[in-house]
Amino acid sequence: MKRTLLMIPGPVEFEPKVLASLGEPTTSHLDSSFIEAFGRSLEQLRQVFESPTGQPLVLAGSGTLAMDCAGANLVEPGDKALVVNTGYFSERFATILQRYGAQVTQVTAPPGSRPCLDGIKSALESDSFKLLVVTHVDTSTGVLTNVQKIAALAKRYGVLVVVDGVCSVAGEELKMDAWNLDLVLTASQKAIGVPPGLALLMIGPHALEAFHKRTTPVLNYYADWTNWLPIMQAYEARKPSYFGTPPVNLIFALRTSLWQILAEGMAGRISRHLAISRACKAGIHALGLAQVPSQPQFGAHTLTAPRYPQGVNGPDFLARVHQAGVTLAGGLHPEIRGEYFRIGHMGAVTLADVLVTLGAIETALTGCGYIFSPGSGLAAAQKAWSEK
């Protein structure tokens, strides 16, 4: 068996103790040890999302289910929604909202850029929207949006703010209550640090109010909050309850990961992601590779999206990186898919992981015939790290 380092933007490398939790004996979902693990995890999620007023909801499924769940429960046919589009995952959210009958308006930007606040403001002025959806980090481009400012703007128009935080929660700074966000969602396999399979939502009081005011049924049976809210509340009250069988071992793994996340502390975790990201981006820059985000301040801290240098063939390069022991991801945004690759650095990631990755990238670039000063990426990353 060949050991490789998984440095894609999810799933990521997981902590051994988290993985060991998956191997704990599976209990009944009504067992007191499971009720305690689930109840405690729900409580701790409020700390991770920085949302003391939020209602946590954890479902078996991927991030797309979390998006689907938000759309199904917040949208009634004919509602108007504004999508701040930064790429592939914003497109997906728009499609989901339309599926539930929303009339969707989009503010867009070229790949690597993000819609400006003025553009979002004019869109908000142009119509009466029920909700605004924004992708905090669009994993297809590595673009980070200014969620805090967008939410402050949307609040002036009384619009619900829904954040796709799949590639940001527990890796980027995000203060749900302080920033007035109404719903933030994520998935387990990224900065939350648990293997794929959990959809996590934090529902704020205004989003819950909008849900309770619905006059039409939720058009998705599994995702309907009517079914799940009593279950989440029961687990938090440490009472047994059932709607659909929860993924017992994934919840054990979540319990372990949340414990680790909070032991590190949110501020420490966010600054670690920042320092790791700076080191990675400094290394990539020193190698002479451009990045997809068109301005440094648009760059996310959970992944880096370098463009291939001229003359380097993407699939050949990625195969060589793999051969050197690191798995990276190719491009995803349909307009520029073949022009760049992606390095995920979130969750339990360390400087050592980034250095190994840059080393493998240097080895692959050499193999592809690219001319650069060997070791320059590694040196720049170490310098950036030491300056943190």
CB of 95 to ligand PMP, least distance (A): 12
Compute the distance between CA of residue 136 and CA of residue 191 in angstroms, rounded to an integer. 13
Instruction: Closer to ligand PMP by CB, 35 or 194: give it.
Output: 194
* Closer residue to ligand PMP (CB): 62 or 291: 62
The least distance separating ligand PMP from the CB of residue 62, rounded to whole angstroms, comes to 3
* Closer residue to ligand PMP (CB): 45 or 365: 45
Buried b (16+ CB within 10 A) or exposed e, 273-304: bebbbbbbbbbbbbbebbbbbbeeebbbbbbb
Please tell me whether residue 222 adopts helix, strand or coil conformation.
coil
**Cβ 239 to ligand PMP, closest distance in Å?**
30
CA torsion sign for 118, 120, 122, 125 is negative
Q: How far apart are CA 180 and CA 363, in angstroms?
A: 46
| Least distance (Å) between residue 216 CB and ligand PMP | 26
Nearest residue (CB) to ligand PMP, 167 versus 312: 167
3 state SS of 299: strand
Minimal distance, residue 214 CB to ligand PMP, in Å: 24
Residue-wise burial string across 41-69, b where 16 or more C-beta atoms lie within 10 A, e elsewhere: bbebbbebbbbeebbbbbbbbbbebbbbb
Q: Least separation, in Å, of the C-beta of 291 and ligand PMP? A: 17
d(CA 217, CA 78): 14
Residues that bind ligand PMP (CB under 6 A): 10, 62-64, 89, 135, 138-139, 164, 166-167, 187
Q: Do 105 and 82 form a contact (C-beta atoms < 8 A)?
A: yes
Supply the minimum distance, in Å, between the C-beta of residue 66 and ligand PMP: 8
- Contact, 58 vs 199, CB < 8 A? yes
Between 79 and 164, CB nearer to ligand PMP? 164
Of 176 and 282, the one with the shorter C-beta distance to ligand PMP is 176
**Distance set, CA 273 to CA 93, 198, 283, 301 (Å):** 26, 22, 15, 6
CB of 134 to ligand PMP, least distance (A): 11
Q: Which of 209, 187, 265, 281 is nearest to 55 (CA)?
A: 209
Nearer to ligand PMP (CB atom), residue 166 or residue 286 = 166
List 300's β-bridge partners, or say none: none
Instruction: Between 64 and 226, name the residue whose CB sits nearer to ligand PMP.
Output: 64
